[in-house]
Chains A and B, each alone.
Chain A
Amino acid sequence: MTFKNRIAQVASDSAKYHLSVAAWFIVVVSIIYIVLGSIFTTNDFTPSGFMAFIYRPAKIFSLIYAISATGSFLTFFVRHGVTRRDYFFGTAIALVLVSFAIMIIAAIIASIENFIFPAAESVSFFGSSGLALAAIAEYSLNIICYYLTGWLIATMFYGYDMLRKNLSILGAALIVIMLSMLWGESGFEQSITKMFNPHSPWELSLAISILGTLLLIALVLWIIRAFTKSITIKMK
């Protein structure tokens, strides 16, 4: 089996497993959305429909999935003769694919919702195709960052000492803060950000936010690669 095929195989197997778990997540969130939507009928509950509703849980899901799955996947692949390098690139490809897949599926569900219950253009992503694509891109990039945050934490907890474990938590907090600074999100992340910078640049253009997020993704991937390059596999 050639090198490139190995990466593709790792990516394919990781993505399949990941998507099977993500499918359950989407189903559960959809049910909660329908139930809550039938109880609370005001726009306060779902100002931008299903996509906005699933976005925040999807970030938490990504973080938790990455933390819980990283160790077992790393052990599994190396145990079956896959190099850490192939594992890294395969996993990175898989998490990008899954992140976009989750938000594309969410967008499809949201478009069905929008078709059945048309929302006011001001509160819908589907007023224009550009806005919908921008929303998918924004949400997917953010979810990728949360996956990477979980991957980073799990890597440090898998094979490194207490200092680096603690530093990974600090790094995770920094990633979340930088994300909220780039995207000007509300809620918890914003509160944290304001603690560090009360004058956050909330009005960044989409291009700068995307570029900044891509740079952040590249940086975190580089760190993860550096720490998985020679990581010791646990024999357990």
Chain B
Amino acid sequence: MSYETAFHQVNMTYGNFQALKDISFRLEEEKIYGLLGRNGAGKSTLLSLLAAYRKPSTGTVTIGGQEVFENSQLMSQVALSYNTDYSEESDKVKDMLDAAACYRPNFDSSYAEHLVKQFKLPRDKQVKKLSNGMKSALNVTIGLASRCPVTIFDEAYVGMDAPTREIFYRELLEDHARHPRTIILSTHLVSEMDYLFEEIIIIKRGRLLMQERSDQFLELGVSVTGATQVVEDFVRGMKRLSTRQLGGTTSVRIYGELSEMQHKEARKLGLELGNVSMQDLFIHLTEEEDTDDVQK
């Protein structure tokens, strides 16, 4: 069965507020996607539609050509992990894992045990008594061990410390290599997670701003480094993302590709050209007021 995912002209309205506006895109199978957007951009709403937590106001969300909402075969193949409120959850960690094993057809209990050890989760402790980081680790454990063909992590790292997040990222990559599936990572930690993404999707104010392969996305910006005055003269008139200066050396990140002539000129001036970080581009694209036209 195909698990190609598609949003087709999806709109989501809450009263007078339109959370998603005419969203259309496709996700190929077995890739890792980064879903980026600022607070309130509509990321969680979009993901909740894919997990059939809600029905779109208009439009369709399909997997393998079939609508996901109330589709028994498909809903069991989509896992959404998010920052869950477990304040009243009296079940123990092992109970939660057992419950997931009952309802997820591909759940791998031995892998879940491996993750429990990696995250040092106390199996016999009530979930409500876990720290926030541990609760997130439990969500991630269930999400990864469920081995759903469509696996979604909506800021699932909240509360995790840096070493735990590293374990999460490593396990995600390794398990994806062993069991390829569509994974969507919604995050604010762009600089920390950018190496995970094969493609990125950017949502801005409820609209799809961009869907691009990560390597192609990074080509949208250039860093120019060299003597301060030379750099300043070279980038004059270009869209500047950020500037860093150390002594007489300045590094400016600009938005947009350079022409062949500009490349030659930069070499002639002794300037060093490099890539711009995904985070710089993300910040620029989601801050600009004039760039929210839909691009594909």
Contacts and interface: CB of A to CB of B under 8 A. Distances in A.
Interface in A1-20: 1, 3, 6, 9, 13
A79 B101 CA distance: 13
A83 B70 contact: yes
B103 interface: yes
Given A79-B80, A80-B100, A235-B44, A86 B52 contact: no
A173 interface: no
Contacts of A232: 53-55
Contacts of A78: 52-53, 75
Interface in B105-119: 105
B80 A236 contact: no
B55 A1 contact: no
A83 B71 contact: yes
B44 A82 contact: no
A80 B48 contact: no
B208 to A, nearest CB: 21
B128 to A, nearest CB: 12
A84 interface: yes
A13 B104 CA distance: 15
B78 interface: yes
Contacts of A13: 99, 102
Contacts of B82: 235
A81 B70 CA distance: 9
A81 B76 contact: yes
Contact of B79 (A77, A81, A229): A81
Nearest to B54: A232
Nearest to A2: B72
A235 B88 contact: no
B84 interface: yes
Interface in B160-209: none
A72 interface: yes
Given A235-B44, A236-B85, A82 B103 contact: yes
A230 interface: yes
A77 B78 CA distance: 13
Interface in A68-102: 72, 76-86
B44 A80 contact: no
A9 B154 CA distance: 28
A233 interface: yes
Given A1-B105, A235-B44, A235-B48, A81 B75 contact: yes
Given A85-B72, A230-B69, A233-B54, 10 more contacts: A13-B102, A72-B88, A78-B53, A78-B75, A81-B75, A85-B70, A229-B70, A230-B55, A232-B55, A235-B53
28 contacts: A1-B105, A6-B72, A9-B102, A9-B103, A13-B99, A76-B99, A77-B103, A79-B80, A80-B100, A80-B102, A80-B104, A81-B76, A81-B77, A81-B78, A81-B103, A81-B104, A81-B148, A82-B75, A83-B72, A85-B70, A86-B72, A230-B70, A232-B55, A233-B54, A235-B44, A235-B53, A235-B82, A236-B85
Interface of B: 44, 48, 52-55, 69-72, 75-80, 82, 84-85, 88, 99-100, 102-105, 148, 154
